[in-house]
Structure 1
């Protein structure tokens, strides 16, 4: 286990021990606020009841996100209403899905779609995941074989995405996306799943797995707060920019100038 220390501390705070974890897919669930605070800063409505599961709704009320740890198997449910381009869709993500990977999908819900056609496999192949056909299904597995993405097609033609991660002890999670799930959302999820960047967990929240690598880091509470606030500030800035663009409408024609008294003069 390697030891790192962050620089630039002030004299009045005590550092706390955290751990950087790779691969991120086996890091455990993490702090749900990583997802919920970003959505709230992006203008989503928090419909949660005090002490109950998380329930959030998009500004246009077309998408709902819930996180319920109090039922079995528990986890995330994301539901989208049918619109002109897509049918009704949903995604179900296990309770131990790392919040950083969940945020790949939920953050994408707050942004305009790219004009480019989505490609779920591209971010996986960039990180050297092994892709192949398995019968009628198409499969990608991570280089260490702990995570996978599978495109399944049933005999009636219905397609589904199935993904997850598992270590040799059987710890992990699974997630699935129904056929109408917009592909740019699945791609955003696969991008975060394949990312080689470690994620951070506090002491006592590190999974007991022989297939993770950890680095001990000392972090001040103010540093954690600053990192979290930077993410929230970015969400607020993006929301403000989108709302400003919508409210600004260019004039198609200029109104003629009328002098006081209502009489126009010619020269």
Structure 2
């Protein structure tokens, strides 16, 4: 285990021990606020009840996100309502899905779609994941074998995306996406899943697995707060920019008034 120490500590603050964990798919669930605070900064409504599960709703009320750790199997439930151009869709992610991977999908819900056609496999192949196709499914597996992404099509034509990760003890998580889930969201998820960047976990929250690599770091509370605030500030700035651009678009011309010499309604 490596150890790293941050410099320029603030006076009067006590450093806390954290760990950078790789691969991120085996890092455990993490702090749910990584997802919820970003959504709140993007204008999502927090409909959670006191001491109850997390429940967020998009500004247009078309998408709902819930996280419930109090039921079995528990975890994340994301639901999109049907619209003129998109059928109803859903995604379920297990309770131990790292919040950084969940955020890959949920952050994408707050951003405009790319003009390019989505490709779920591209982020995985970019990180040397192995692809194994057969008659009914295609499976991509991480280089260390701990995580996978799978596309399955049954004989009747029904399609489904699956994903997950497990350590040597069988501990881990699973994710499932409806066939109608927008592909750009599934790609955003696969990109976050395949990212080689480590994620941070506090002392006592690192899963006991021989498959993970940890680097010990001493972090000040003010540093953690600053990193979290930077993510929230970026979300607010992007939301403000989109709203400003939307309001600046020319409105539809008003309907012309009746000719000045035309008849007027009597009072």
Tell me the TM-score range normalised by the shorter chain.
over 0.9
Distance 1:49 1:251, change over 3 A: closer
Q: 1:148-227 counterparts in 2 under 5 A?
A: 148-227=148-227
Match of residue 55 from structure 1 = 55
Q: 1:126-165 counterparts in 2 under 5 A?
A: 126-165=126-165
Q: Distance in 2 between matches of 1:162 and 1:127?
A: 19
Alpha-carbon RMSD = 1.1
**TM-score, scaled to structure 2:** 0.93
Point out the more displaced range, 6-15 or 147-156: 6-15
Match of residue 76 from structure 2 = 76
Distance 1:52 1:249, change over 3 A: same
Structure 1 runs of 4+ aligned residues shifted over 2 Å read: 249-253
Match of residue 107 from structure 1 = 107
Deviations 1:147-202 (A, max 9, x none): 00000011211110000000110010000000000000000000000000100000
Deviations 1:236-263 (A, max 9, x none): 001101111111133789xxxxxxxxxx
Q: Distance in 2 between matches of 1:252 and 1:231?
A: 36
Q: Distance in 1 between matches of 2:59 and 2:78?
A: 15
Distance 1:50 1:251, change over 3 A: closer
Q: Compute the displacement of 1:135 (Å).
A: 2.9
Give the secondary structure class of the aligned counterpart of 1:164: strand
Which segments of 5 or more consecutive residues in structure 2 lack a partner in the other structure?
254-267
Which segments of 5 or more consecutive residues in structure 1 lack a partner in the other structure?
254-267
**TM-score, scaled to structure 1:** 0.93
Give the secondary structure class of the aligned counterpart of 1:231: helix
